[in-house]
Amino acid sequence: MKLLLCLILILVLLVLFAVWPGKRRDALRAPFLGRNFAHRGYFGKDQRPPENSLPAFAAAAKNGYGIELDVQFTSDHRLVVFHDDTLDRMTPAKGFVHDMPWAEFSAQPLAGSEEHPPLFADMLRTVAEANPATPLIVEIKSRSEYKQTYLEELCRATISELKSYPGPYCIESFDPRVVGIVRRQAPGILRGQLSDSYRSYHKDGTGTVPAFAFSHLLGNFLGRPDFIAWCPDERNWAVRLCARLGAMMVMWTALPEHDTAKLEADNDAVIFQWYAPKNQYK
């Protein structure tokens, strides 16, 4: 019995070690608290202007919203703003973004419009010109097959570009390896762990064990995130634990059909899409 109790205690301690978030840093949090962040810019269901386009980012900044966006590399390692892993949904082209060179990628029309996917540097310049105080949540896109050296370069490029931006910014990722790299490369930047529910991971084909690990934040020991970005589903015990331990809570992605007032009441920041909330709710 004693041995069993010791094993249970060790298991509990290991889980706590894995899930524990970073130390609370109030000064870094302040620009993001009580803010609504336009998901991929401020755009409508008709994709006019298209998501992740310069006009969508300018519209979000001019309307006083924060902005959430996604960055990744083209095949020639140009840092671009684009959400999907593939070009299929938003452009006439097919295949992975990371397999297409910048010259070809930049020529693709977004959602049948005259807009094209921008460089991260151009996005930052556009937002700074529209409203230099706009807070940014930058998601670094990753895939399981990406090697550590590739992710190191991707994080380094993102951090380097952000140094020229005059407003507040933070970095997040679904990949705990990325959050860990940001922690090492730029410990002074607010960082966040994105997560989804076990049900969603499993539905997308993620195996049982990794789906549980990702949804229950068992990679937090790598990055010790300042905030947890969680989906509309009910928080599991790991997410609730992080909130109790002082992690900032960010909600993604609020839609018009959700109880948006409750989401604002329950979270420190909200990433929204397809409606026009207040700029700041706290």
For 77-96, how does the pLDDT look when each residue is reduced to its tens digit (9 = 90+)? 999 999 999 999 999 999 99
Burial of 109 (0-12, 13-18, 19+ CB in 10 A): middle
Residue 192 has pLDDT above 90, yes or no: yes
What is the reported pLDDT for 133?
Answer: 98
What is the reported pLDDT for 152?
Answer: 98
Q: In whole angstroms, give the CA distance from residue 229 to residue 268.
A: 10
Question: What would the mean pLDDT of 212-232 be, rounded to a whole number?
Answer: 98
Residue 188 has pLDDT above 90, yes or no: yes
Write out the catalytic residue numbers: 39, 83
Question: What would the mean pLDDT of 241-270 be, rounded to a whole number?
Answer: 97
Residue 164: pLDDT band (50, 70, 90) is: very high
What is the reported pLDDT for 43?
Answer: 97
Contact 139, 172 (CB under 8 A): yes
Residue 1 has pLDDT above 80, yes or no: no
Q: In whole angstroms, give the CA distance from residue 189 to residue 211.
A: 28
Residue 28: pLDDT band (50, 70, 90) is: very high
Domain residue extents for the chain: 24-272
What is the reported pLDDT for 233?
Answer: 94
Question: What would the mean pLDDT of 140-152 be, rounded to a whole number?
Answer: 97
Contact 257, 239 (CB under 8 A): no
Q: How far apart are the first and last CA of the chain?
A: 51
Residue 5 has pLDDT above 90, yes or no: no
Question: What would the mean pLDDT of 151-176 be, rounded to a whole number?
Answer: 98
Residue 15 has pLDDT above 90, yes or no: yes
What is the reported pLDDT for 16?
Answer: 96
What is the reported pLDDT for 275?
Answer: 97
Q: What is the model's pTM?
A: 0.97
Q: In whole angstroms, give the CA distance from residue 183 to residue 188.
A: 8
Q: In whole angstroms, give the CA distance from residue 129 to residue 126.
A: 5
Fold of 24-272: TIM Barrel (3.20.20)
Question: What would the mean pLDDT of 221-231 be, rounded to a whole number?
Answer: 98
Residue 3: pLDDT band (50, 70, 90) is: confident
Q: What 3-state DSSP class applies to 272?
A: strand
Instruction: Give 6 or 182, the one with higher predicted confidence.
Output: 182
DSSP state of 258: S
What is the reported pLDDT for 2?
Answer: 81
CA angle 59, 192, 262 (to 5 degrees): 65
Residue 150 has pLDDT above 90, yes or no: yes
Mean pLDDT, rounded, of the chain: 97
Rounded percentage of the chain residues whose pLDDT exceeds 90: 95
Question: How many Å separate Cα 213 from the centre of its chain?
Answer: 18
Q: What 3-state DSSP class applies to 93?
A: coil
